A and B are shown apart, each in its own frame.
Chain A
Amino acid sequence: MCQNPGCSCSDHSQADDHSHDHSHDHSHDHSHDHGHDHGHAPGPLTLAVNRSLLEKNDGLAERNRRLFRAKKLLVLNVVSSPGSGKTTFIGETAAKLAGQLRLGVIVGDLATDNDAARLRMAGIPVVQITTGTVCHLEADMIAKAAAKLDLDQLDVLVIENVGNLVCPADFDLGEALRVVLLSTTEGEDKPLKYPPMFHSAHVAVINKTDLADAAGFNRGQALANLKRISHHALIFEVSAKTGAGMAAWLDFLKQQRARL
């Protein structure tokens, strides 16, 4: 038994007020010097935590969402694999909405600001987030980037996420709508290969319909796959390049913005 009154170890004869379980074995060696405060651990403990790894991001996303709602800003989180045409799709959306809705863009990329530069050339307010090695955007990155835009001068804010169908799925950014792009050149089984992303989307856009025949795209199969995984999602079929099908998408955006 420890005799040193200044010692914080648990092997004292007087009743201690530690609330943890003391039913464990205390037969460990106490022959060491007790003339110092050695911060003895209070014994084995299993601490139930039960906290989500996403709670911090979810909280920040909710804060973004409140800000966006207060400003009557329709916010889209556009996700897809690299090369499915997000930048062209967003640029064409902005151009076709000119004079009707004011659109700003936050672009996420691992490196380069090529996409941002393309949009900026078209006269669209753009903030670039270069994520370095991070494969997705998170809510706090959006909060910081949005602060660089004059949100009062915008009606729609489009977030172009990092081209990746896996990682961005788990991270809520505070968007009103998650829009997943699937291009006809990628194959119709993408929804089956990346179910969390497609399942989380409110809107699915099949892009590059002008290349469907050349790519041997099986439209029926793609729609069936989308309906299976993203059964609740609205589906648009467009070619951002030729403009085919864009009118329905733009009408939908205007409707969504008007509802805010």
Chain B
Amino acid sequence: MHEVALMTEAVRLAVESAQSAGRGRMAVLRLRVGTLSGAVPAALEFAWEVVRRGTLAETARLEIETVPVVCWCAACQMEFAGADFFNECPGCHQVSGELRRGRELEIAALEFN
């Protein structure tokens, strides 16, 4: 359950961003979470319910944008969809471990009313 630590940091960053933009309570906190990030969206949502209390995020809605794995094939010079840390290029069938997307763990945006 490192998701509690991650969500605590998400709320801390969100509050800091809201305050430096001169805003108060946020309406939406949007996270971007890669499927290989090691964080589980359901556990993030569970942690969210606890860590937002008493903060500017208290009444906000949590939206999690899941980012699927995108791999890069150096031989074919193209991106392709993957599922794991290593994926077979559909063009040349070589295995590539160069991930372009899928490990994200970040706050994408905040929305205010």
Q: Which residues of A contact B (CB under 8 A)?
A: 39, 41-42, 44-54, 56-57, 134-136, 138, 166-171, 195-197, 199, 228-229, 231
Query: What B residues does A56 contact at CB under 8 A?
Result: 9, 12
B2 pairs with A53, CB closer than 8 A: no
A171: contacting residue among B2, B4, B17, CB under 8 A: B2
A47 pairs with B105, CB closer than 8 A: no
| Interface membership of chain B positions 1-25, coded 1 if the CB is closer than 8 angstroms to chain A and 0 otherwise | 1101110011011100110011110
A47 pairs with B18, CB closer than 8 A: yes
Q: Determine the residue in chain B with the shortest Cβ distance to A231.
A: B97
A47 pairs with B5, CB closer than 8 A: no
A170 pairs with B109, CB closer than 8 A: no
B112: contacting residue among A41, A135, A166, CB under 8 A: A41
Q: What total of A-B pairs shows CB separation below 8 Å?
A: 94
B39 pairs with A47, CB closer than 8 A: no
B5 pairs with A134, CB closer than 8 A: yes
B76 at interface (Cβ–Cβ under 8 A)? no
Given known A-B contacts A41-B113, A170-B39, A228-B86, A51 and B2 have beta carbons under 8 A apart: no
B110 at interface (Cβ–Cβ under 8 A)? yes
A166: contacting residue among B2, B36, B107, CB under 8 A: B2
B111 at interface (Cβ–Cβ under 8 A)? yes
Q: Kindly name the residue among A41, A57, A136 whose own CB sees the greatest number of chain B CB atoms within 10 A.
A: A41
